[in-house]
A = this chain, B = another copy of it.
Amino acid sequence: MSDQTTTKQIVVTRRSPAYWRATFNHPPLNIFSPDTIPQLNEIIAALETDERVKVIVFDSAIEGFFLTHYDFLARIEDTTNLPPGPTGLQPLPDMLVRLSRASVVSIASIRGRATGVGSELALACDMRFASREKAILSQFEVGVAIVPGGGPMARLPRLIGRGRALEVFLGADDFPGDLAERYGYVNRSLPDAELDEFVDTLATRIASFDKRAISETKRFVDVASLPPDYEIAPEWDVCLASIMRPAAQERIKKLMERGFHKPGDVETRLGHHVGQLGVAS
């Protein structure tokens, strides 16, 4: 028997008290907007306090999009006016840091595009599995003159090494599932037809284990692998500052003219399109 709570953009399904799923469902593109923040925060807070949940899977109900970039049509004040979270970080980096530290196991099941915030949330999860045919990971921000802000420069180099991380950030291009696996950006890339069963089997397995053994083991891994918050904090500030600059405003404007924020080729092939904006100088 599953107990389902529907919120506007993220649907939480409790497959059992120990095994939850959070499904991004914000048509048409799973864009992350300022009003996604309290919804995600509610889920993270529940993970921190519920005594029975052991594992959560993040997936998507939207064809082609796991979770994509921040909403550039929203007023910037709707983001900058939000108070910091419990860690003292701004809300988005705060929630991602708390997700990584929660004693619950978090798994990103990536089908469709995980770009910008989508990639950052996947990187904050404990594990990432990708559809070979349908997953695309990227940090596109540098392509529009923006510095990524949700902590990925602290997380990705530790995961895949400096060289490949710099290629992801500074090339700002799309990484399909198999390449993402070769780079270590995801744990594994699986045939699309096998992804759901693989992730469900793993989550069900973890849900059958002892919560304290899980959380104590994870805490030791945290010591060896989590970046300190003081590396994450300044990314957000520099990201916001970069968005305000003319270089970013011009590129975002050009991208909007091409169809950014609307279903279509720009959102689907974002890596390609950010490569078309600049005048080679």
Residues of A within 8 A of B (CB): 16-19, 52, 105, 125-128, 141-143, 145-148, 153-167, 169-173, 181-184, 186-188, 202, 204-210, 212-214, 216-218, 220-221, 223-227, 231, 234-235, 238, 242, 245, 247-248, 251, 275, 277-281
In the complex, what residues of B have CB within 8 A of residue A279's CB?
Answer: 208
Interface of A is mostly: helix
Contact of A226 with B162 at beta-carbon distance under 8 Å, contacts A169-B221, A170-B217 already known: yes
Nearest residue (CB) in B for A279 is B208
Can you list 17 A-B contacts with CB-CB less than 8 angstroms, sorted by A residue number?
A16-B281, A127-B163, A128-B163, A142-B209, A142-B210, A145-B212, A147-B216, A154-B224, A156-B221, A158-B161, A164-B184, A165-B221, A165-B225, A169-B217, A169-B221, A204-B280, A209-B278
Contact partner of A220 among B125, B153, B186, CB < 8 A? Answer: B153
B170-A275 in contact (CB<8A): no
In the complex, what residues of B have CB within 8 A of residue A146's CB?
Answer: 213
In the complex, what residues of B have CB within 8 A of residue A220's CB?
Answer: 147, 153-154, 231, 234-235, 238
Complex CA–CA separation, A19 to B224 (angstroms) = 33
In the complex, what residues of B have CB within 8 A of residue A125's CB?
Answer: 163
CB distance from A200 to the nearest CB of B (A): 12
Complex CA–CA separation, A16 to B279 (angstroms) = 11
B166-A52 in contact (CB<8A): no
In the complex, what residues of B have CB within 8 A of residue A188's CB?
Answer: 182
